[in-house]
Structure 1
Amino acid sequence: MKKIGMIGGLSWVSTVEYYRRVNEIMQAIEGGVTSARIVLESVNRQEYVEAVIDRQDEVSACRQIENAARALQAAGADFIVITCNDVHRFVPAIEPLLDIPFLHIAQVTAEAIKAKDLRKVAILGVRKTMEEDFYPEIFTRNGLQTIRPNEDEKRDIHDSIYDELVHNRFLDTTRARYQKIIRDLAARGADCVALACTEIPLLLAPEESPLPAFSTTELHCRAAVALALDRAEPDGSP
């Protein structure tokens, strides 16, 4: 079994979910009381937010993730999983500096959507995820079209993540707003939605979405187990 290197803390809420799901899936596949081999490097979210939001210092933010990745490599990880969507924008800069690969959340998500023969993907996440090109570039390579929320929708989604979800607060009123946003995106041509913030599926389960919804957290965890076990596809419980 390969050792999974996990960059967490961005936020601790989704990091807990990653640890839980990876081990649940691993045990379902391997049986008994099997646990995944995981080494965790937890970034201080406060320091990261101060760099990204307060100082708008992308170089400093990237360096924090690079340092975490190097620590995981030194700890014997075979590959790296980042438990946060928007941080994947740094992968192209960091991966060439390492001897181990990242398991990219956008690629895993694109493959799952393509397998369902869906093509027009609405993407929900923090502003960096909704506005930058790291998701659309990978989606385009996989024959998918990205549909972005409008400005009001982006503000509502981003603020709810920062003010509620990363604080482990999941409100019915916020869930209802997400459902309305997804219905509006469907009216603008989306045929599915990527829940591209690792906390969003804790608020809105895929089955609660007005459109077919893909939990990037679940897909990433399943892909991590598959890679750790050298399997093409995981066959643990959903």
Structure 2
Amino acid sequence: MQTVGLIGGMSWESTALYYKLINERVRDRMGKLHSAPLLMYSYDFQGIKEMQYAGRWSEAAASLAEVARRLESAGARAIALCTNTMHKLAPEIMSSVTVPFIHIGDATAQRIRAKGYRRVGLLGTKFTMEEHFYIDRLRAHDLDVLIPPADERADVNRIIYDELCLGIVAAPSRRRYQDVMAALVAAGAECIILGCTEITMLVGPDDTSVETFDTTAIHAETAADFAIG
């Protein structure tokens, strides 16, 4: 198997899911006592959040690129960034290493297109929902992307940072997400992208009338498949 380098800690709650899901995928595909060869760098997320909200993206990019280079130097044969939002800086990471970068948006879009869907509802942080870096990546796969209105985006974002990243899973927040997803379906969404790696902690297939695509699971499975070869 090939070693995968994980850039995590954004947040550690979802990074822990990556570790579990990758190894479960390897076990299920290979059997016996097989598990994935992984290298992980886990950030102090508070510093990353401060960079995000202060618009210090160039500083964050330099840091992520350096971590990616260190993982490659340590033996990683591919890099996976365990967060949707920080894929805003995917070009800087990709240009800093010579090994493949496993893009969460590509992996998710390919899974959606394989199911025959084209019009998708997107949930995530405000950066993921409102900026072009993620939506354009999905559109490159011929997907039509719907996002919630401003007040709903604010609630989705707040719940991610103030609750899920702290491991808080609250029933009122689940109901709020259910309402937001129902509105996206009413607007024409054929499926829902859980476009933040923490959202899977709160909602899943039973919380909406259409199929959901869990980016955490999809990305982890793609990384595992790369490791297996």
Normalization by structure 1: what TM-score?
Answer: 0.93
The equivalent of 2:155 in structure 1 is: 156
TM-fit CA distance, 1:74: 1.3
1:134 deviates by: 2.0
Residue matched to 2:52: 52
Cα distance in structure 1, aligned partners of 2:207 and 2:50: 34
2:188 counterpart of 1:214: no
Q: Is the 8 A contact 1:43 1:68 kept in 2?
A: no
> How many Å apart are 1:210 and its aligned residue?
2.7
CA distance in 2, matches of 1:51, 1:197: 18
Identity of aligned residues (%): 36
String of CA shifts for 1:66-108, please: whole Å, max 9, x gaps: 1211111111100011111011110112212211121000000
Give the whole-Å Cα distance in 2 for the aligned partners of 1:51 and 1:136.
21
CA contact (8 A) 1:103 1:224 kept: yes
C-alpha contact (below 8 Å) 1:179/1:210 kept by paired residues: no
Unaligned residue ranges in structure 2 (runs of 5+): none
Secondary structure of 1:136's partner? helix
Aligned to 1:7, what secondary structure does the other structure show? Answer: strand
Question: 1:6 aligns to what SS in structure 2?
Answer: strand
Aligned residue number for residue 174 of structure 1: 173
Contact 1:8–1:43 under 8 Å retained in 2: yes
The 8 Å contact of residues 68 and 96 in structure 2, kept in 1 or not, is answered as: no
* Counterpart for residue 13 of structure 1: 13
SS of the residue 2:14 aligns to: helix
Task: Quote how far apart the aligned CAs of 1:47 are.
Answer: 1.3
8 Å contact kept, 1:2–1:228: yes
Matched, 1:79 2:78: yes
Distance in 1, Cα, partners of 2:118 & 2:128: 19
Tell me the residue number matched to 1:186: 185
- Counterparts of 2:159 and 2:23 in 1: how far apart (Å)? 28
Q: For residues 67 and 139 of structure 2, what CA distance do their matches in structure 1 show? A: 29
Counterpart for residue 233 of structure 1: none
Conserved 8 A contact 1:123-1:146:
yes
Residue aligning to 1:236: none
CA distance in 2 between counterparts of 1:88 and 1:174 reads 25
Match of 1:63 in 2: 62
Cα distance in 2 for residues equivalent to 1:39 and 1:13: 17
- SS of 1:81's equivalent in the other structure is strand
Residue 235 of structure 1: aligned partner: none
Give distance in 2, aligned partners of 1:206 and 1:80: 28
SS of the equivalent of 2:145 reads: strand
Q: Which moved more, 1:134-143 or 1:110-119?
A: 134-143
After superposing on structure 2, the runs of 4+ consecutive aligned residues of structure 1 that deviate more than 3 Å are: none
Partner of 1:110: 109
CA-to-aligned-CA distance 1:139-170 (integer Å, 9 cap, x gap): 22211101111101100000000100000011
Could you tell me how far apart the structure 1 residues matched to 2:151 and 2:193 are? 18
Structure 1 letter corresponding to 2:173: T
Aligned-pair Cα RMSD in Å? 1.0
Distance 1:62 1:209 in 2: 35
Instruction: Give the Cα separation in 2 of the matches to 1:209 and 1:134.
Output: 26
1:40 is paired with a residue whose SS is strand
Q: Which runs of 5+ in 1 are unaligned?
A: 231-238
TM-score, scaled to structure 2: 0.97
Q: Which amino acid aligns with 2:114?
A: A
Aligned length: 229
Q: CA deviation at 1:208?
A: 2.6
- Matched residue of 1:77: which SS? coil
1:24 corresponds to: 24
